[in-house]
């Protein structure tokens, strides 16, 4: 029973350790996100002339971009291809790989002013990530692809939006697979400890894959709490005892 039951300390998130000092936020968190392959951008270009503005709109109506659904953002957004480029009407190919959101916005703005518009056009360029897409699987309430519509999100946000980790999920070994231009990196985070907040993987990034491992108790099949374990053991013991009595007769 002691082996099969899941201790309460294995279910509580971000527990402070004894004599632990305040967590210093890692410098990685302060750095702006840099665009990578498969990111989807929502770009809104406006000028004082609505007709000119419509030329740079992928769907022909920049006013409706803010109300697009998730599928609409994906279909009408600008995806970064394998070479780090996005394709904007009139401007055509623009490389944004490893650029911050602000750097990419400035590149588009400068190109417009240099090749197509003047300062009198009252140019306005708005560029945002079309949500932080991530995939989560394993012992989670709602596995699958999900989107957080924010500039920053933590792994705790992703787990909460996906229905929380099940009782049988291993909160001490949550795996994160992250894509970079040079390849994929992996990390393991212990979400039962407050020190998890100092990990550079605590804040998720677009296209992260999160995997929650099962606890050994699940493979045992005995039970996730004391009552379940007790019931299973009593049932097993009764079955064994009955079998022995039948054989003895």
Distance from C-alpha of 19 to C-alpha of 23, rounded to nearest angstrom: 12
Res 68: pLDDT: 54
Phi, psi (rounded to 5 degrees) for 28:
-60, -35
Mean pLDDT in residue range 18-25: 64
What does DSSP assign to residue 182? T
CATH class of 40-129: alpha beta
Distance from C-alpha of 216 to C-alpha of 184, rounded to nearest angstrom: 28
Its pTM surpasses 0.85: no
- 231, pLDDT greater than 50: yes
What does DSSP assign to residue 128? E
Residue limits of CATH 3.30.1950.10 in the chain: 40-129
Average pLDDT for the chain: 82
CATH of 8-31+133-220, one of 3.40.50.300, 3.20.20.100, 3.40.50.720, 3.10.560.10: 3.10.560.10
Distance from C-alpha of 147 to C-alpha of 197, rounded to nearest angstrom: 21
Burial of 147 per CB tally in 10 Å (0-12, 13-18, 19+)? middle
Alpha-carbon dihedral of residues 79, 80, 86, 89, nearest 10 degrees? 0
Q: What is the pLDDT of residues 45-90, one digit of tens each?
A: 999 888 878 887 765 444 444 455 565 666 678 999 999 999 998 8
Q: Which helix (H) or strand (E) is 169 found in, with range?
A: strand 169-180
- 135, pLDDT greater than 90: yes
Residue limits of CATH 3.10.560.10 in the chain: 8-31+133-220
């Amino acid at each position: 029973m002691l082996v099969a039951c899941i201790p309460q300390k294995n279910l509580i998130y971000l527990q402070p350790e004894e004599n632990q000092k305040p967590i210093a936020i890692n410098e990685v968190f302060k750095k702006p996100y840099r665009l990578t392959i498969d990111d989807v951008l929502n770009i809104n270009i406006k000028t004082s002339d609505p007709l000119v503005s419509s030329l740079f709109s992928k769907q022909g109506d920049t006013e409706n971009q803010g109300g697009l659904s998730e599928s609409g953002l994906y279909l009408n957004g600008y995806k970064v291809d394998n070479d780090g480029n996005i394709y904007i009407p009139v401007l055509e190919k623009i490389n944004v790989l490893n650029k911050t959101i602000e750097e990419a916005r400035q590149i588009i703005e400068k190109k417009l002013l240099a090749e197509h518009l003047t300062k009198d056009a009252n140019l306005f360029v708005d560029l945002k990530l079309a949500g932080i897409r991530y995939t989560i699987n394993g012992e989670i309430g709602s596995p699958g692809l999900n989107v957080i519509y924010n500039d920053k999100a933590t792994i705790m946000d992703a787990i909460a939006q996906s229905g929380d980790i099940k009782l049988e999920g291993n909160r001490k070994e949550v795996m994160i697979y992250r894509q970079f231009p040079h390849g994929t990196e992996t990390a393991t985070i212990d979400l039962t400890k407050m020190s998890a907040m100092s990990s550079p993987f605590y804040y998720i990034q677009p296209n992260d894959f999160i995997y929650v491992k099962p606890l050994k108790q699940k493979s045992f099949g005995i039970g996730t709490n004391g009552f379940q374990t007790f019931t299973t053991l009593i049932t097993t013991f009764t079955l064994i005892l009955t079998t022995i009595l039948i054989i003895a007769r």
